[in-house]
């Protein structure tokens, strides 16, 4: 037993000694590799024996490849703010069941004001007090307060917001405050290090910094199925983001803003590895419009579309499963006037490649109404191009387009021709060429509907419709005939 024990101890000592020798050798080898000039390293490698030269380093230990994020963190953190919002809403107890109203002691009380509070984060983008945050942070807010990293608190004004991109712009009365420059988010690469800065879970954790990498770009369809129009081309990261981070900064290693944190995907409501930010190239356009015009001037191409998949590629005999397939072209739209058709596949706008529907949406969003662009597309196997002039999302009521149609609450109108009037058996009217997606469409308008009366007054041309509507103080009531000859009516409020 004693001999065995000595043997065992001897083995252990020998193993430890071997490990120490190997460790020292490895340490010496690493030091030599790190300090040798490139030419010397190459000559040394050539002089190694076959057994020695078979070793290849798998990790580059050069200092420049380590993600030193201290500069980015320290330069950006002071420009990220805590946003506190107050929302006042009315509680109408008269709508409650009478028995419950009596039981809870509300009686016949008048509607009461109820105050709620919430919070998020924001990013100072200009030293004169302009702050970007997420639209959902300040939506319906009656009061917004902003606390800087130096503990100074300011009341903020909402300059404007855009629900389609989930971006809002605030302004505080301050000057010379820290700000973050915006980078070109298109330059971000997969695997690049980024920092998320914000106030997760409330004011107590203001200025929290977490790190991660760019996991994906151009993400969309995150499950927000509320029927609203959205422009989604998110940057996905694995930097820890929680409720309260919304509106905060996503910065690169240089401390430049590359995105505004806006969402997480989680089954628990807390961070589970997937966070998403609105790219700065979308934010720049929205913020610029809000400052210059007070609202977003959004360009519209006028197509319904989808990303090319394997089935579409086979059906259309495409060589690649890339691009955006046009399912439908809206009549009178920029796409229609540019000659685009059903089953065309868009693969670039100007010099920007387009691989997915979200990329096309983001690119179109970078333009203003009236801007021109060259659309590159494939039709029946041939590469083609056309120039389009982008239209506005909804032209102002009364605007006459090049084709002679008149804009009216999102729809387009023209005087009904004799053939249409004869077919429907009516004396006069104004036809809805395109119902659009505005108030007219929402109220029940359809393509081909012929308007005979507006607020009980007969109409014969689009100007009649516009002028009668202008005189109305509250509502517009429309009577007429559908495209198949059925009498119908609908109405909507002006505000």
Q: What is the pLDDT confidence band of residue 65, given thresholds at 50, 70 and 90?
A: low
Reading the block at residue 7, the tokens are 């043997």
* Mean pLDDT, residues 92-96: 55
Three-class DSSP labels, 191-260 = CCEEEEEECCCCHHHCCEEEEEEEEEEEECCCCCCCCCCCCCCEEEECCCCCCCCCCCEEECCCCCEEEE
Q: What is the pLDDT of residues 211-250, one digit of tens each?
A: 999 999 999 877 655 556 788 899 999 999 999 999 999 9
What pLDDT was estimated at residue 140? 87
- Bridge partners, 377 (sequence order): 346, 384
What pLDDT was estimated at residue 480? 96
Q: What is the pLDDT confidence band of residue 390, given thresholds at 50, 70 and 90?
A: very high
Task: Give the count of beta carbons closer than 10 Å to the beta carbon of residue 164.
Answer: 18
Q: Is the pLDDT of residue 99 over 80?
A: no
**What pTM was computed for the model?**
0.67
Residue whose C-alpha is closest to residue 136's, from 169, 166, 170: 166
Q: Is 248 exposed, middle or buried (0-12, 13-18, 19+ CB in 10 A)?
A: buried
**Catalytic residue ranges:** 136, 166, 246
Q: Is the pLDDT of residue 107 over 80?
A: no
pLDDT, mean over the chain: 83
The CATH homologous superfamily to which domain 406-493 belongs is PDZ domain (2.30.42.10)
Contact in structure between 333 and 390 (CB atoms under 8 Å): no
What pLDDT was estimated at residue 39? 42
Q: What is the pLDDT of residues 183-211, one digit of tens each?
A: 999 999 999 999 999 999 888 999 999 99
Q: What is the pLDDT confidence band of residue 410, given thresholds at 50, 70 and 90?
A: confident
What pLDDT was estimated at residue 98? 63
Contact in structure between 119 and 84 (CB atoms under 8 Å): yes
For 159, the enclosing helix (H) or strand (E) is strand 153-162
Q: Is 221 exposed, middle or buried (0-12, 13-18, 19+ CB in 10 A)?
A: exposed
- DSSP for 358-418 reads HHHHHHHHTS-TT-EEEEEEEETTEEEEEEEEPEESSPPTTPBPTTS-EEETTEEEEEPPH
Alpha carbon distance 256, 195 (integer Å)? 10
Residue whose entry in the numeric block shows the structure tokens 């050798």: 25
Q: Sign of torsion, CA 301 305 310 312?
A: negative
What is the assigned CATH class of domain 299-392? Answer: mainly beta
Phi first, then psi, for residue 219 (nearest 5°) are: -70, 145
Q: 3-class SS at 132?
A: strand
Q: What CATH architecture applies to the domain 69-296?
A: Beta Barrel (2.40)
């Amino acid at each position: 037993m004693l001999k065995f024990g000595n043997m065992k101890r001897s083995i252990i000592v020998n193993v430890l000694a071997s490990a120490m020798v190997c460790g020292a050798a490895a340490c010496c080898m690493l030091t030599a590799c790190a300090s040798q000039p490139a030419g010397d390293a190459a000559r040394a490698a050539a002089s190694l024996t076959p057994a020695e030269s078979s070793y290849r380093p798998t990790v580059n230990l050069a200092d420049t490849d380590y993600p030193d994020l201290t500069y980015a963190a320290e330069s950006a953190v002071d420009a990220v703010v805590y946003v506190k919002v107050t929302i006042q809403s009315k509680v109408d107890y008269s709508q409650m069941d009478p028995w419950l109203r009596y039981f809870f002691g509300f009686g016949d009380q008048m509607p009461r004001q109820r105050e709620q509070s919430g919070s998020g984060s924001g990013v100072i983008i200009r030293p004169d007090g302009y702050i970007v945050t997420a639209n959902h942070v300040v939506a319906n807010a009656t009061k917004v307060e902003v606390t800087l990293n130096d503990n100074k608190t300011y009341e903020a004004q909402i300059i404007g917001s855009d629900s389609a991109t989930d971006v809002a712009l605030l302004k505080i009365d301050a000057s010379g405050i820290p700000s973050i420059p915006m980078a070109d988010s298109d330059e971000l690469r997969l695997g690049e290090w980024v920092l998320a800065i914000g106030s997760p879970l409330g004011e107590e954790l203001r200025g929290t910094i977490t790190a991660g990498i760019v996991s994906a770009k151009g993400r969309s369809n995150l499950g927000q199925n509320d029927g609203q129009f959205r422009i989604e081309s998110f940057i996905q990261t694995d930097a820890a983001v929680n409720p309260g981070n919304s509106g905060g900064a996503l910065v690169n290693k240089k401390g430049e803003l590359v995105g505004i944190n806006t969402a997480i995907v989680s089954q628990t409501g807390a961070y589970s590895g997937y966070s998403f930010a609105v790219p700065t190239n979308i934010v720049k356009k929205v913020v610029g419009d809000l400052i210059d015009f007070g609202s977003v001037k959004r360009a519209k191409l006028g197509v319904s579309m989808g990303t090319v998949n394997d089935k579409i590629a086979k059906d259309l005999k495409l060589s690649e499963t890339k691009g955006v397939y046009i399912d439908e072209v809206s009549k009178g739209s920029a796409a229609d006037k540019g000659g685009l058709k059903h089953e065309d596949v868009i693969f670039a706008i100007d010099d920007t490649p387009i691989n997915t529907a979200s990329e096309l949406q983001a690119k179109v969003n970078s333009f203003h109404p009236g801007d021109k662009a060259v659309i590159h597309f494939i039709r029946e196997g041939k590469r083609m191009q056309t120039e389009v002039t982008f239209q506005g999302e909804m032209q102002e009521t009364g605007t006459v387009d090049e084709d002679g149609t008149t804009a009216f609450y999102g729809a387009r109108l023209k005087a009904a021709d004799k053939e249409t009037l004869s077919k429907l058996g009516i004396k006069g009217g104004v036809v809805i060429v395109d119902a659009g997606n505005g108030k007219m469409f929402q109220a029940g308008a359809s393509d081909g509907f012929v308007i005979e009366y507006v607020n009980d007054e007969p109409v014969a041309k689009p100007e009649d419709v516009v002028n009668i509507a202008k005189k109305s103080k509250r509502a517009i009531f429309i009577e007429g005939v559908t495209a198949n000859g059925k009498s119908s009516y609908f109405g909507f409020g002006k505000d």
